[in-house]
């Protein structure tokens, strides 16, 4: 155990190009995923929080349940859609980073939307009457609430980023873990573990952990700063 | 919009009587102050006039219309400000107006100047003092150039000097041509600021009279008791 | 300010999608975990790519899954090791141009202590009988891979129903994870020599039986039928098949060694 750890540390200290490429692809996929999922998830979550429509409760329960959606399930479903014998087979997107972004977006949108709904709904309770007195439409309310909650919503986006970076099931299935093309940190870890190369998977795991820790530290300080500035 | 006519309004949430048999006409000009003991239904009455609450019985019309006309603004007893700049909060009510960015900015800054907060436009709204927050809430409503402004206890939590400033602003808004209906606990304020008084007790309008006559010769026993019980204490507090 | 952010995000998005979706000429080869995890592809593919400029994207699965993937049209070339399944694949019209590429052999791997005394026999079927009679567990791939198919044939020849035996554990995983399990449980398993040689977390495992002719493990390559799937990259795929069965391809397969030991033996008929 200790030996494995020491070996892993020495591997981390001289990262080779291949590992850097894997880490870089992980970032790109996560960034694209989170950007897309945020653009969809924030308005969606806020809309569910603010709008009243029949089935709103069911949608809320659905979003909350989807937060725990197993990533392999999403992987298989997206696979079946993108497969040559599936409905979007003509696009030839299977086994590509684009497919990975798509699958992860499906995975992350409910997470961001569900957290957003919770945060925005709490704020909405406080503001609802005032917004109505200002004749706000749904769109005005959604925009103002998202803006007001922006520093709390960082947590939702961060949760999405964490899920995207650490998820392995979906990207493995739709990406295929192709070396130099769709291999990201998590699938590389899965492969190295399968090969019995535990130090290398541990080294990659350390990189992953460090990245996630740094992101969270950044977000924590952003919130502290925002609380001081905006009360 | 005017006259706003309330006839035989009943408001009984969960079977509890808050308002009953309220008849009231609000005409185009002046400052009307609604006074009355705690729980008399003052706030609910304002909300009904704003169209934010539907009475359980009776009817309200805005110049014959059953839906509230645009041009009503309301400032709540505890105004909620967004976590953003003073400028952003002051311009919030203009969002549905569809003004150009430049026009919205001009109007917002102009209003902030009139309430004396222009120099704090870029500061965080939530870090303002109580008096400044109330002025910002007034600015937010005033920027909308409302025909009717409803104020719920605008000075309840303020010290005397901040109260003075807000009262001055309310007069200015009225001079601008805005009809004002407000509630207050502060009889001295009611006396100073209003043109007429609506005296509310036990969910009913007991008296409606021009201010000087109401305080000089209250018609009902309730009003007499209310003025006697409250007046000396409030005045000493104010001075 | 909000407008600026909106534009920034759209810009970022477009940049990312554009950067990610860069298209070179490439083919998808659905292959087995044994070829990927043994490091063979890492050795031979750069040679092919440098020569032809065609990028080979290897999706490593069990043989059964690799064939299914090709059946759905999600690969251009299949490179697997289960001759009966390959023949069925071709007979059903899913694949064309099947060629022998190479072979290696399976080995039975077990704990050094060899509790089930497998070391005493050169006969693989007898070895399976001894394992079933012993108390140490046997870890099966259980994933319809070529290795799994070979293992099931041996059980059948030994007239043993392994599922009726309590020591039989199905991993439902690739060769590597199965070896990890065998190491952790001090159990036996059937492994391809390539994966075994490149496997690092051996702990107390070693080869307990090898060399029986029936352990012969041939690999075949074929093109997914372009008549079934018109999008199949026929030319690039055929270039790969031609190259890997050519003298140069065969020599580079033979040249791949771990610790001086050759993993795969060329078998293409030129």
Q: How far is C152 from chain A (nearest CA, A)?
A: 22
Residue B231's pLDDT band, with cuts at 50, 70 and 90, is very low
Per-window interface: C 160-219 vs A, CB < 8 A: 173-177, 179-180, 183, 195, 198-202
The pLDDT value recorded for residue B12 is 92
Number of A:B CB contacts under 8 A? 51
The angle subtended at Cα C60 by Cα C56 and Cα C62, nearest 5°, is 145
The pLDDT value recorded for residue B237 is 36
Which structural domain, as residue segments, surrounds residue B45? 4-77+148-238
Q: What are φ and ψ of residue A172, in 5° steps? A: -65, -45
For residue B15, what is the domain's CATH number?
A: 3.40.50.300
Q: Rounded mean pLDDT of C189-202?
A: 91
Mean model confidence pLDDT for chain C: 90
Q: How far is A173 from chain B (nearest CA, A)?
A: 43
The pLDDT value recorded for residue C18 is 52
Contact criterion met (CB below 8 Å) for A174 and A102: yes
Residue numbers in A near B73 (CB within 8 A): 133-134
Q: Does a structural domain hold residue B168?
A: yes
SS3 assignment, position C232: coil
**Out of A3-17, B77-91, B215-229, least confident range:** A3-17
CB contact under 8 A, A35 and C12: yes
Which residues does A108 contact at the CB level (< 8 Å), separation at least 6?
A33, A34, A37, A41, A160, A163, A164
Q: Rounded mean pLDDT of B223-237?
A: 62
Q: What is the dihedral of CA C247, C249, C252, C258, to 10 degrees?
A: -130
SS3 assignment, position B74: strand
More confident residue, A195 or B34: B34
Q: How far is C133 from chain A (nearest CA, A)?
A: 29
Would an 8 Å CB–CB cutoff place C57 in contact with chain A? yes
**Out of B59-68, B129-138, C157-166, least confident range:** B59-68
Q: Does a structural domain hold residue B36?
A: yes
Q: Is the pLDDT of residue C21 over 60?
A: no
- All domains in chain A, ordered by first residue: 16-195 (1.10.3720.10)
The pLDDT value recorded for residue A192 is 86
Burial of A121 (0-12, 13-18, 19+ CB in 10 A): middle
Q: Does a structural domain hold residue B204?
A: yes
CB contact under 8 A, B95 and A140: yes
Q: Does a structural domain hold residue B192?
A: yes
Distance CA A119, CA A49 (A): 9
Q: Does a structural domain hold residue B64?
A: yes
Distance CA C75, CA A137 (A): 51
The percent of residues above 70 in pLDDT, for chain B, comes to 96
Domain with CATH 3.40.190.10 in chain C: 2-103+218-266, 105-215
Contact criterion met (CB below 8 Å) for C82 and C70: no
Structural domains in chain B (count): 1
Rg over alpha carbons for chain C, rounded to the nearest Å, is 21
Number of A:C CB contacts under 8 A? 96
Distance CA A202, CA C39 (A): 20
Q: In this predicted model, what pLDDT tens digit does every residue of A78-106 receive, in sequence order? A: 999 999 989 998 888 999 999 999 999 99
The pLDDT value recorded for residue C9 is 61
Q: How many residues does chain B have?
A: 239
CB contact under 8 A, A133 and B124: no
Task: For helices A71-82 and A97-133, give the axis angle rounded to 10 degrees.
Answer: 110
Q: Does a structural domain hold residue B131?
A: no
Residue A15's pLDDT band, with cuts at 50, 70 and 90, is low
CB atoms within 10 A of CB B226: 21
Which residues does C256 contact at the CB level (< 8 Å), separation at least 6?
C39, C40, C43, C44, C262, C263, C264
CB contact under 8 A, A231 and B79: no
Would an 8 Å CB–CB cutoff place C230 in contact with chain A? no
CB contact under 8 A, A130 and B76: yes
Q: In this predicted model, what pLDDT tens digit does every residue of B165-189 receive, in sequence order? A: 999 999 999 999 999 999 998 899 9
CB contact under 8 A, B50 and A140: no
The pLDDT value recorded for residue A227 is 84
The percent of residues above 90 in pLDDT, for chain B, comes to 73
Would an 8 Å CB–CB cutoff place A148 in contact with chain B? yes
CB contact under 8 A, A231 and B126: yes
Residue numbers in A near C173 (CB within 8 A): 194
CB atoms within 10 A of CB A17: 7
Subunits that touch chain C (at least 3 Cβ pairs < 8 angstroms)?
Answer: A
Q: In this predicted model, what pLDDT tens digit does every residue of A59-81 receive, in sequence order? A: 999 999 998 889 999 999 999 99
Residue B234's pLDDT band, with cuts at 50, 70 and 90, is very low
Interface probe, candidates B62, B70, B83, B139, chain A, greatest A C-beta count within 10 A: B83
Residue numbers in A near B93 (CB within 8 A): 134
SS3 assignment, position C17: helix
CB contact under 8 A, C59 and A147: no
Mean model confidence pLDDT for chain A: 91
Nearest CB neighbour to B127, from listed A126, A127, A231 = A231
Q: Which fold has domain C105-215?
A: D-Maltodextrin-Binding Protein; domain 2 (3.40.190)
DSSP class per residue in chain A = -HHHHHHHHHHHHT--HHHHHHHHHHHHHHHHHHHHHHHHHHHHHHHHHH---TTHHHHHHHHHHHTT--HHHHHHHHHHHHSTTSTTGGG--SSSHHHHHHHHHHHHHHHHHHHHHHHHHHHHHHHHHHHHHTT--HHHHHHHHHHHTHHHHHHHHHHHHHHHHH--HHHHHHHTT-TTTT--HHHHHHHHHHTT-HHHHHHHHHHHHHHHHHHHHHHHHHHHHHHHHH-
Interface probe, candidates C178, C201, C226, chain A, greatest A C-beta count within 10 A: C201
Domain C2-103+218-266, what architecture?
A: 3-Layer(aba) Sandwich (3.40)
CB contact under 8 A, C74 and A84: yes
């Amino acid at each position: 155990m200790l030996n494995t750890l020491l070996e892993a540390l020495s591997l981390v200290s001289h990262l080779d190009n291949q590992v850097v490429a894997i880490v870089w692809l992980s970032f790109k996929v996560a960034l694209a995923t989170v950007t897309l999922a945020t653009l969809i998830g924030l308005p969606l979550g806020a809309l569910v929080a603010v709008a009243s429509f029949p089935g709103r409760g069911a949608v809320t329960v659905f979003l909350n349940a989807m937060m725990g959606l197993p990533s392999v399930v999403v992987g298989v479903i997206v696979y079946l859609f993108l497969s040559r014998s599936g409905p979007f087979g003509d696009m030839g997107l299977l086994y590509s980073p684009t497919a990975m972004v798509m699958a992860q977006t499906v995975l992350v949108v409910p997470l961001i939307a569900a957290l957003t709904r919770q945060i925005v709904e709490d704020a909405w309770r406080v503001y609802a009457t005032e917004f109505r007195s200002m004749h706000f439409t749904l769109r005005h309310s959604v925009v103002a609430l998202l803006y007001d909650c922006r520093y709390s919503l960082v947590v939702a986006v961060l949760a999405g980023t964490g899920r995207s970076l650490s998820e392995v099931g979906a990207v493995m299935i739709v990406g295929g873990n192709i070396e130099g093309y769709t291999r990201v940190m998590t699938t590389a870890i899965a492969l190295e573990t399968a090969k019995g190369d535990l130090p290398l998977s541990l080294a990659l795991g350390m990189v992953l952990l460090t990245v996630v820790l740094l992101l969270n530290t950044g977000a924590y300080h952003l919130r502290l700063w925002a609380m001081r500035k905006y009360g | 919009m005017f006259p706003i006519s309330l006839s035989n309004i009943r408001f009984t949430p969960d079977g509890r009587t808050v308002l009953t048999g309220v008849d009231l006409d609000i005409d185009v000009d002046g400052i009307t102050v609604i006074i009355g003991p705690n729980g008399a239904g003052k706030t609910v009455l304002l909300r009904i006039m704003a169209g934010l609450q539907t009475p359980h019985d009776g009817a309200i019309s805005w110049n014959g219309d059953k839906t509230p006309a645009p041009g009503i603004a309301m400032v709540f007893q505890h105004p909620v400000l967004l976590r953003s700049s003073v400028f952003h909060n002051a311009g919030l009510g203009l969002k549905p107006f569809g003004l150009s960015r430049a026009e919205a900015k001009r109007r917002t800054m102009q209003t902030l100047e009139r309430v004396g907060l222009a120099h704090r436009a870029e500061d965080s709204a939530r870090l303002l003092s109580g008096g400044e927050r109330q002025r910002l809430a007034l600015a937010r409503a005033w920027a909308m150039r409302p025909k009717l402004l409803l104020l719920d206890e605008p000075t309840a939590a303020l010290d005397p000097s901040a109260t003075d400033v807000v009262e001055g602003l309310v007069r200015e808004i009225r001079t601008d041509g805005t009809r004002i209906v407000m509630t207050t606990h502060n009889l001295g304020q009611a006396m100073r600021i209003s043109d007429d008084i609506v005296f509310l007790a036990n969910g009913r309008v007991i008296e409606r009279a021009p201010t000087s006559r109401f305080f000089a010769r209250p018609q009902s026993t309730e009003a007499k008791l209310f003025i006697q019980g409250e007046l000396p204490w409030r005045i000493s507090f104010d001075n | 300010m909000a407008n600026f952010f909106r534009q920034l995000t759209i810009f970022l998005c477009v940049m990312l999608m554009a950067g990610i979706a860069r298209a070179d000429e490439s083919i998808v080869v659905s292959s087995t975990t044994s070829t990927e995890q043994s490091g063979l592809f890492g050795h031979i593919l750069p040679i092919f790519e440098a020569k032809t400029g065609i990028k080979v994207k290897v999706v490593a699965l069990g043989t059964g899954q690799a064939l299914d993937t090709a059946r759905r049209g999600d690969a251009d070339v299949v490179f697997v090791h289960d001759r009966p399944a390959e023949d069925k694949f071709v007979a059903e019209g899913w694949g064309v141009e099947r060629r022998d590429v190479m072979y290696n052999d399976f080995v039975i791997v077990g704990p050094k202590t060899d509790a089930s005394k497998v070391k005493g026999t050169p006969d693989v079927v007898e070895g399976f009988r001894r394992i079933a009679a012993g108390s140490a567990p046997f870890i099966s791939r259980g994933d319809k891979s070529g290795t799994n198919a070979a293992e099931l044939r041996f059980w059948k020849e030994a007239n043993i129903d392994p599922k009726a035996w309590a020591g039989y554990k199905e991993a439902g995983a690739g060769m590597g994870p199965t070896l990890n399990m065998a190491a952790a449980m001090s159990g036996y398993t059937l492994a391809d020599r390539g994966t075994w040689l490149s496997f690092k977390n051996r702990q107390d495992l070693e080869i307990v039986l090898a060399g029986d002719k029936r352990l012969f493990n041939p690999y075949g390559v074929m093109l997914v039928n372009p008549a079934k799937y018109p999008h199949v990259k026929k030319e690039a795929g055929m270039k790969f098949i031609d190259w890997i069965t050519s003298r140069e391809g065969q020599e580079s397969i033979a040249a791949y060694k771990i610790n001086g030991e050759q993993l795969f033996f060329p078998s293409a008929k030129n």
